[in-house]
Structure 1
Amino acid sequence: MIKTSAAALTSALLLLCAPAMAADLSAFDQPGALVEAPGPWQVRLRALGVLTEDEGSVDGIAGSDLHYSDSVTPELDITYYFTNNLAAELILGTTKANVHTGGSIDSLGKVGSTWVLPPTLTLQYHFTDFGAFKPYVGAGVNYTMFFNQKDSGPFTDMDIENTFGAALQVGFDYMVDDHWGFNVDVKKIFLEPDWTAKLGDTKLSGKAELNPWVIGAGVTYRF
């Protein structure tokens, strides 16, 4: 009697467990079932082209203009995903820019040079319906710091002021797997800092209308 009851109980347990065991075994048959899912953090290493608007002015001088050198620089950004669609991205990089006179004051030549540090924070919406192709749009704020400023030619005491600006962004990641991918990114930063300098004993002031396009391409890693 005891043996019969034990056999019946064993059979019942096997029948109850069979669906769960089958589900577990089928999971091993799925490609990538044992691959760890990516976490909320992502980093990118990109090469950036910084293309300025090449406009500006000196107060009180009609037809005055300013020009700035374009540059290529490495950049690191860090992204945190709140959901699959919403993320925040912090962009870090620095580059050097030269400032030249133009227009009616073109003959005065180079005003000086400065290093530019423009950390930018954007809130992004990521589209997730296109498989490995993952486009996104973003908007945020930029705070640009100008440091190691150096005068040139007849100019002295050049000072470009740190300033806030708005930023718009569009781009995409193409993911090779759950962690690695390629990235292309375009930003428009609205940046018009005030500046001052001396030309002999005359103090000049004006606005540097940089408003750069920032175009980047690089590698993405999600972890």
Structure 2
Amino acid sequence: MRKPLLALLTLALAAPFAPLAQAHTAGDIIIRGGAATVDPHEDSSRISTTATGAIGDTSAGVDSSTQLGLTGTYMFTDHLGIELLAATPFSHDISVSGLDAALGAANGTFDGSFADAKQLPPTLSLQYYPLDSQSKVQPYVGAGLNYTLFFDEGLTSRQKTNGFSNLELDDSFGLALQAGMDVMLTDNILVNAAVWYIDIDTQATAEHSALGKVKVDVDIDPWVYMVGLGYKF
């Protein structure tokens, strides 16, 4: 949480030095863009196969990714808005651990980098802005729904050599919470920092020439951080 907290604190400290600017009112459209980082805090089931069942002390991991994040908000009152979060595709490396110790060298060396996949996490949120519409500093909170689409799943060349094929990740549908802050620099231009917590769950499946179907359930549950600029129409 340190990154978004530091960004929000920086904006709050800078606010008194920003020129007076009219903030958000009903009918405004606010477009924000900046660097967005998806930081998974994953928890996975044990990896299972048709040949062995669930394998003890095994797990899957997902690394973080940074891309261009974009949001669009429509203010239907001075205090309530609806926001759509979008981004350029995030690309994540997927790793596995524990298979080498469990299966030995007979079926190959599996631990480490296993695959990569891309995802898009469109999220629709209802936002609440508690301060007066004339305040140039506008903190907000929000809650909504996320749909995460996984695509371009690809096994590493080593895992293909080990006998794996046909990797697939299920799409996810879950809740999302957010907090953020806008600081108006002019009547139209603003600085923004925001953080989301998103419930993302997926099941990864693949085929193996000796082990049969391989699968693992992963709760990815990332924090998403974004810092950037915005424009109010």
Give the TM-score category using the shorter length: 0.7 to 0.9
Please report how far the alpha carbon of residue 111 of structure 1 lies from its aligned counterpart in structure 2 after TM superposition: 2.2
1:99 corresponding residue in structure 2: 94
Deviations 1:33-72 (A, max 9, x none): 9xxx894211001211111113213231122111112111
1:49 and 2:49 equivalent?
no
The answer to whether the Cα contact below 8 Å between 2:21 and 2:187 also exists between their aligned partners in 1 is no
SS at match of 1:100: strand
Which of residues 206, 216, 231 is equivalent to 1:221? 231
> Relative to 1, partners in 2 of residues 1:41 and 1:32: Cα closer, same or farther, differing over 3 Å?
closer
The answer to whether the Cα contact below 8 Å between 2:27 and 2:76 also exists between their aligned partners in 1 is no
Which of residues 116, 124, 131 is equivalent to 2:135? 131
The answer to whether the Cα contact below 8 Å between 2:26 and 2:78 also exists between their aligned partners in 1 is no
1:140 and 2:140 equivalent?
no
2:118 corresponding residue in structure 1: 115
SS at match of 1:157: strand
Matches within 5 A, 1:50-199: 50-57=38-45, 58-59=47-48, 60-93=54-87, 94-103=89-98, 108=110, 109-129=112-132, 131-152=135-156, 153=159, 154=162, 155-199=164-208
Distance of 1:118 and 1:160 partners within structure 2: 14
* Unmatched tracts of structure 2, length 5 or more: 1-19, 49-53, 102-108
Distance of 1:75 and 1:188 partners within structure 2: 15
Distance of 1:38 and 1:219 partners within structure 2: 21
Please report how far the alpha carbon of residue 103 of structure 1 lies from its aligned counterpart in structure 2 after TM superposition: 4.2
1:40 corresponding residue in structure 2: 28
1:204 corresponding residue in structure 2: 214
> Relative to 1, partners in 2 of residues 1:105 and 1:84: Cα closer, same or farther, differing over 3 Å?
farther
> Relative to 1, partners in 2 of residues 1:52 and 1:105: Cα closer, same or farther, differing over 3 Å?
farther
SS at match of 2:179: strand
Please report how far the alpha carbon of residue 105 of structure 1 lies from its aligned counterpart in structure 2 after TM superposition: 5.2
Deviations 1:113-140 (A, max 9, x none): 1110111111100122482110000000
Q: Which moved more, 1:136-145 or 1:46-55?
A: 46-55
Distance of 2:127 and 2:98 partners within structure 1: 39
**Normalized against structure 1, the TM-score is what?**
0.79
Decide which structure has the larger Cα Rg and report it: 1
Distance of 2:187 and 2:137 partners within structure 1: 12
- Which one scores higher on RCO, CA 8 angstroms, separation ≥ 6? 2
Deviations 1:79-138 (A, max 9, x none): 111101110100111210111002455861322111101111111001224821100000
Letter in 2 for 1:182: V
Distance of 1:70 and 1:113 partners within structure 2: 12
> Relative to 1, partners in 2 of residues 1:32 and 1:90: Cα closer, same or farther, differing over 3 Å?
closer
Matched-pair identity in %: 31
Report the RMSD for the aligned CA atoms in angstroms: 2.2
The number of aligned residues is 190
2:14 corresponding residue in structure 1: none
SS at match of 2:41: coil
**Normalized against structure 2, the TM-score is what?**
0.75
